[in-house]
Amino acid sequence: MVLPQRLDLVDPRFRADPYPIYAELRADRPALRLQLPDGRDAWLLTRYADVESVLTDRDRFSTQSFLGQEGSAIPAHLSNVYMLFNEIMLGKDPPEHTRLRKLVQKTFTTRLVERLRPNVVDLAEHLLDTVFERARATGERRMEVIADYAFPIPVTIIMDLLGIPEAGRADIRKWSTALASFDGSLAQAELIVASVDAFVDYLRKLVQDKRNTPAEDLISALAVVEDDGDRLSEDDLLAMIYVLIFAGHETTLHLIGNGTRALLTHRAEFEKLRHNPALIDRAVEELLRYDPPVEVPRARIAVEDVDLAGVTIRRGEVVLVGIASANRDPGAFKDADSLDISRVENRHLGFGKGIHVCIGLALARLEARIAFEVLIRRMPELRLAVPADELELRPGGIFLRGLAALPVTF
Ligand code: HEM
């Protein structure tokens, strides 16, 4: 295959199966110049070592001011869109990032996550009960994994955890889906601004309610959390809630969806897990490696000139790192293109690395382990209902990769 001079990351043919192209890039052009949807040029790095080095080099690569950098003023009516996008801790460098991360970590603890275990089990069982009841009523043993299972689990759990009232949840999903496809361009910001404004109004009111009447939930805790006299400002808090809602479901949804597809297209691995459920922890790590929900994380900006992957990345240039590609690098993984749920050596980058490493990874692991365990135990005859190459991706930007629908029989 001849590599295209300019790779279009949103080209549906590339998105359908980017792995062969990634393999060629790693071999022949580990730093590729491409154009972002907003028109700016960027580098795409695809080798494990280079991806890891950018993610862990907090001094030379910034996640800040990805949008609205020097010269490109943001129109006032789009300010909420960029406020949510830029004020999240993922878009901050130290010391501001350190400050935000410390505050959220005081409330979003491993103990808090562990307490959710019974809720996640009950929810997964209940969702499949509903599917079985429907099958009895219709006589058809079919389900759509994304809508019936992979989507409701993380959404319900994060909404419960944050303390979002039932009545607001459907709107939040709609607004959050609009934001999920945001690529940073002004043109797209125009398309989603109405949703984002409604979202911000809703969150402001909710935070006010929680301040007036605190409850046993994460928003109430975040509203009052203190560290050495430091507190979250109103904008900090809104952006934090937004990132937890968004990161809390768009990603885990895809782990359950992509992971189920991977297991169903590798029957021997499915059977291995079915007969040996104790492999679940390793299996989830392998599914995160094999087809990770975050294909490319937030863009980085070089703070100074950096020599990497055989090129000089100039100060101010945009760098994308291919997590999905790094996870298939034969230089980092034995039989990198094979799915092996009993893999022991597995330093995948599915949760990122360095100071921005996923703060929700304990929750994501808990949800995914339970989701797969319950699904496989209750539906040992699970099979794809359509050929694997007919499955379509959920529309979205270049950052997340997951299925729009996954019809199966059981
Ligand atoms: C399978 C599920 C998940 C995957 C694959 C995932 C992946 C990632 C990755 C790759 C990053 C680093 C991004 C970067 O460096 O640019 C990240 C950061 C983050 N994740 Fe997750 N995530 C998942 C679930 C969650 C959940 C459940 C939450 C919260 C409830 C969450 C909250 C966050 C936050 C807040 C950050 C930013 C951390 C920081 O900037 O310090 N994620 N995640």
Residue 1 lies in a domain: no
Question: Binning pLDDT at 50, 70 and 90, where does residue 102 land?
Answer: very high
Averaged over 287-303, what is the pLDDT? 95
Q: Which of the listed ranges 71-80, 88-97, 228-237, 379-388 does the model predict with the highest average pLDDT?
A: 379-388
Q: What is the pLDDT of residue 68?
A: 45
Q: What is the pLDDT of residue 1?
A: 47
- The pair phi, psi for residue 64, each rounded to 5°, is -85, 160
Tell me the per-residue pLDDT of 67-101, one tens digit each, with 9 for 90 and over: 544 446 788 899 898 888 788 899 899 999 999 99
Structural domain of residue 365, as residue ranges?
A: 12-409
Give the distance (Å) from ligand 1 centre to CA of residue 155.
15
The residue whose CA is least distant from atom 38 of ligand 1 is: 356
Q: What is the pLDDT of residue 3?
A: 53
Residue 2 lies in a domain: no
Averaged over 336-353, what is the pLDDT? 98
- Count the alpha carbons within 13 Å of 357 in the hemisphere toward its beta carbon: 10
Give the distance (Å) from ligand 1 centre to CA of residue 90.
9
Residue 4 lies in a domain: no
Atom of ligand 1 minimally distant from the CA of 323: 10
Whether the per-residue pLDDT at 365 is higher than 50: the answer is yes
Question: Binning pLDDT at 50, 70 and 90, where does residue 396 land?
Answer: low
Tell me the per-residue pLDDT of 21-52, one tens digit each, with 9 for 90 and over: 999 999 999 999 998 877 789 999 999 999 99
- Which of 351, 353, 366, 370 maximizes ligand 1 atoms within 8 Å of its Cβ, making it the mutation to test the pocket? 351
Give the distance (Å) from ligand 1 centre to CA of residue 301.
19
Tell me which of 265 and 7 has the higher pLDDT: 265
Averaged over 164-191, what is the pLDDT? 85
Q: What is the pLDDT of residue 71?
A: 45
Q: What is the pLDDT of residue 64?
A: 86
Whether the per-residue pLDDT at 236 is higher than 50: the answer is yes
Residue 126 belongs to domain with CATH number: 1.10.630.10
**Rounded Cα distance, 84 and 196, in Å:** 9
Residues forming beta bridges with residue 42, ordered by sequence position: 34, 318
Whether the per-residue pLDDT at 278 is higher than 60: the answer is yes
Q: What is the pLDDT of residue 56?
A: 98
Give the distance (Å) from ligand 1 centre to CA of residue 233.
22
Residue 210 lies in a domain: yes
Q: What is the pLDDT of residue 174?
A: 85
**Rounded Cα distance, 223 and 212, in Å:** 10
Residue 28 lies in a domain: yes
Residue 5 lies in a domain: no
Please give the full DSSP string across 321-384, using - where no structure is assigned.
Answer: E-HHHHTT-TTTSTTTTS--TT-------TT--GGGS-TTHHHHHHHHHHHHHHHHHH-TT-EE
Question: Binning pLDDT at 50, 70 and 90, where does residue 6 land?
Answer: low
Give the distance (Å) from ligand 1 centre to CA of residue 271.
30
**Rounded Cα distance, 31 and 99, in Å:** 33
CB-CB contact of 186 with 37 (8 Å):
no
Residue 3 lies in a domain: no
The residue whose CA is least distant from atom 3 of ligand 1 is: 251
The residue whose CA is least distant from atom 14 of ligand 1 is: 297
The residue whose CA is least distant from atom 27 of ligand 1 is: 248
The residue whose CA is least distant from atom 2 of ligand 1 is: 252
Atom of ligand 1 minimally distant from the CA of 298: 16
Question: Binning pLDDT at 50, 70 and 90, where does residue 306 land?
Answer: very high
Give the distance (Å) from ligand 1 centre to CA of residue 327.
17
The residue whose CA is least distant from atom 19 of ligand 1 is: 358
**Rounded Cα distance, 149 and 146, in Å:** 6
Give the distance (Å) from ligand 1 centre to CA of residue 296.
12
Q: What is the pLDDT of residue 194?
A: 94
Residue 203 lies in a domain: yes
- The number of domains in the chain is 1
Question: Binning pLDDT at 50, 70 and 90, where does residue 2 land?
Answer: very low
- Which of 251, 369, 398, 400 maximizes ligand 1 atoms within 8 Å of its Cβ, making it the mutation to test the pocket? 251
Ligand 1 neighbours by CB, cut-off 6 Å: 55, 89-90, 101, 158, 243-244, 247-248, 251-252, 255, 292-294, 297-298, 350-352, 356, 358-360, 363-364
Q: What is the pLDDT of residue 220?
A: 93
Atom of ligand 1 minimally distant from the CA of 365: 1
| Longest pairwise C-alpha distance within the chain | 64
Q: What is the pLDDT of residue 85?
A: 79
- 76-97: b or e for each residue (b if 16 or more CB lie within 10 Å)? eebbbbbbbbbbbbbbbbeeeb
